[in-house]
Chains A and B, each alone.
Chain A
Amino acid sequence: MTETNVATRGRSGSRNSRIALVVFGVAALALLAWVTGWWESHHTIFAQVMVSGLLIGSVYSLVSMGLSLVFGVLDIINFAHGALMSVAMYVAFVLARSYGVDPYLSLLVTIPLMFIIGVFVQATIINPVMDAPLHSQLLLTLGLSLFIQNLLLVLFTGTPRSIELPYASGSLGLGLVTLDFPFRLFGAVVTLPKAIAFIVSLLLAGALFLLLQRTRLGTAIRAAAQDPEGAELVGIDVRRVYLVTFGIGAASVGAAGSLILPFFFVSPTAGETFNIIAFVVVVLGGMGSIRGALAGGFLIGLTQELTQLFVPGSSKLIGVFALFILVLLLRPEGLFGSRT
């Protein structure tokens, strides 16, 4: 059993081969860039592509981890994930606009609040259909997503809004070093909000790993994911585990909402953009695999930006969906998924 695979069902593939696949994928893309000789004349653009890809990829990872966890444990494909993200973004937006709360401080509100909303949604809406056929669950979460979106439309109108960090362009003292934001990395621009989103996303991913691996709750969640009946037999309250899991899923997307607000915009459908990408990441990384979601987010971020570099004149997502199809053909269980 691979420890980080909450949804390990049956024999898992070799971990080394999976890591090799990811490394190979990134290396192949980098090589392609290098071979075409663009490096000479376009190294700033290339650096920007890699930096932008990694920065946005970290957010994709965070959004995808929550989705993947819910799928791995509850076996539910949650289409309301993006709508929950919009809710968190509006909470952070209102706190920032009306009460002057720093968007990063609002993490202290959005994470617990989204956890509670997640638990509530699971308890009232999802739990009753846990044993229902897949398509009823799917339509239910799709309906929930439409409901939330239209509720937000009524409450906030559809006008996209955004906020700015007052200190986005300033300097940050880190002991001996002082960083002036936005700073340049190999010629590529890194802004403070994106750097913070990157670091906090990784920290939260680490926290989620620790929670799943090192705590009794995590053990219970993994047990419920592998064999709900067995878990019940040894005294785990599986329904309660489901509540907590959905709560964690919502909390992680809530954190993502707060983190992207300073460099994105909020509208009732803003989270949906990320949800589509998260689905690709989850399938790419292996459904139910947290590690897969983390790696997949970065891979999709890089693929999207590289597509823009090499296939200009089309939507960036073309490369993403091409990769998606390729993975489905070659490794349908996903890069980090277990074979059925």
Chain B
Amino acid sequence: MKRLSKILMLTMVLGLIASACVSGTADTTATSTTQAATTTTAGQATTTTAAATTTAPAPAEPIKIGAIHPLTGGLAGAGIKMDNAAKMAVADINDAGGIASLGGANLELLSADSTGAAEVGQSEAERLIGEGAVGLIGAYQSAVTTNIAAISERDTVPLVIDVAVEDSILQQGYKYTFRVQPNATAMGKYGAEFLNDIATAAGETVTKVSYLHEESGFGTSVFEAFKAAAAGYGIDVVAEIPYGAFTVTDLTTEMTQAAAPKPDVIVVTGYYNDGVLAARAAQDLALDVKAVYGVADGAYDTPEFTSDFAGGEGFFDANYHYNAASAKVVEIRKRYEDQFGAQMDTASMLAYQAVLVLADAINRAGSTDPTAIRDALAQTNMTDHLMAYPGPIKFDSAGENVSAQPVLMQVQGGTVLQVWPAELQESQPKFPAVSWK
């Protein structure tokens, strides 16, 4: 009997661990119990209220803003980089004289760890607001951001989303949430458009694609938007293969299935780890396709991918991107690399950008009242931003950035270069392009 009880206990803990591992995608209560136990602050956070929202600190006091990202767990790599970028943005603003309209008041960044779990992100948002944050940025994952947006609406403290793609976050009629990055519909729509554009420009036809995507809301929503838009260009999705990004150890079988209907192009939407596994599988199988094409993929436009995987030459990714042509961006990225010893990726640039957007709104509001800041955010019209968008950062009534759109990038000569649309081109797209052919 002792043995049986041991097995039962093991099964239960195994369940908890398994759910913690997929917490990037799932909203399970089991996750919150394990995670809360590991996050000392999370427990107390729920007891604090949003009392601080009414107190307007004197101009000399630093103005607190909160940043929530996954600083531990499977997505810690991206989360820590984003948090560093937000810190750097705050330091830059303070060095440049702080918030002018409030007598040069400094900003203070309160960093919080979502651990990748929606519930923890939510309680951390409550804690930060309780500690006096007048605005929040975050949170890298759609599931986590969804919960934070609900808190920010309830406590009337604005949230500027740096990274989180799902459309549904801003379809709740929220007034306090704004998104800097393109949403899933924009990703899928432009992803399909760019694919059609570059194929046409190269005199090639693309009529069949197979689509591998991670199975959570992120991958599914981008896939659906792509599929709908692709149909308009006569591009058929002949195979859809979802997979669990946080539990997968090999994608060779999935890639074999994707290749079975003989597609022209393999399209991939996922995070970094699984993106690398997919790329390896494509190379191992020496797939007879014209390109491997990421849409909002977390791997194919990153410096690590090009340095760690030589077979990635020619890979495409239609994703958000910093404006590589901007001198300001070049300068920020250089300082970031000097300071943190890692190349600054676009997610980090979006975190930096989100702080700038929030600071700009605080400055125009001339107040630390969160509602006044929210009203100023709604009036944002930022032309000197850092992203590869065709227009200024401006929010519509739902809080979406009207100019947000992805740009198509390709790994060329071991570097990620912007190849489409023409006005943002650093290099001509090479199509077809797979390194093993």
Contacts and interface: CB of A to CB of B under 8 A. Distances in A.
How many of chain A's residues touch chain B, expressed as a range? 35 or more
Contact of A160 (B11, B215, B248, B276): B276
Contact of A134 (B6, B38, B76, B241): B6
Nearest to B1: A340
A79 to B, nearest CB: 7
Interface in A186-206: 188-189, 191
A276 interface: yes
Interface stretch (A207-215, A238-246, A265-273): A265-273
A56 B252 CA distance: 11
A127 interface: no
Interface string A150-181: 10010001111111100000000000000000
B72 A280 contact: no
B250 interface: yes
B284 A56 contact: no
B374 interface: no
A161 B3 contact: no
B304 interface: yes
A189 B285 contact: yes
B246 A273 contact: yes
Given A280-B14, A308-B257, A340-B3, A52 B250 contact: yes
B28 interface: no
A52 B1 CA distance: 37
Interface in A57-111: 59, 77, 79
A134 B72 contact: no
Contact of A48 (B3, B4, B215, B256): B256
A283 interface: yes
A48 B249 contact: no
B342 interface: yes
Interface stretch (A11-19, A224-232, A309-317): A309-317
B21 A44 contact: no
Contact of B284 (A160, A182, A279, A332): A182
How many of chain B's residues touch chain A, expressed as a range? 35 or more
B257 A312 contact: yes
A56 B304 contact: no
A135 B8 CA distance: 12
Interface string B109-150: 000000000000000000000000000000000000000000
Dominant secondary structure of chain B at its interface with chain A? helix
B174 interface: no
Contact of B308 (A56, A149, A162): A162
Contact of B260 (A45, A77, A160): A45
Given A273-B21, A308-B257, A332-B7, A158 B77 contact: yes
Contacts of B7: 283, 287, 328, 332
A149 B285 CA distance: 33
Given A52-B252, A79-B13, 8 more contacts: A45-B253, A49-B253, A56-B249, A189-B256, A189-B285, A315-B22, A315-B247, A316-B248
9 closest A-B pairs by beta carbon, nearest first, are A158-B76, A315-B244, A158-B77, A159-B77, A48-B256, A162-B308, A269-B74, A52-B252, A340-B3
Interface of A: 9, 42, 44-45, 48-49, 52, 55-56, 59, 77, 79, 134-135, 138, 142, 146, 149-150, 153, 157-164, 182, 188-189, 191, 263-265, 267-270, 272-277, 279-280, 283, 287, 305, 308-309, 312-317, 328, 332-333, 340
Interface of B: 1-4, 6-7, 9-11, 13-14, 17-18, 21-22, 38, 72-81, 215, 240-244, 246-250, 252-254, 256-257, 260, 272-273, 276-277, 280, 284-286, 304, 308-311, 342
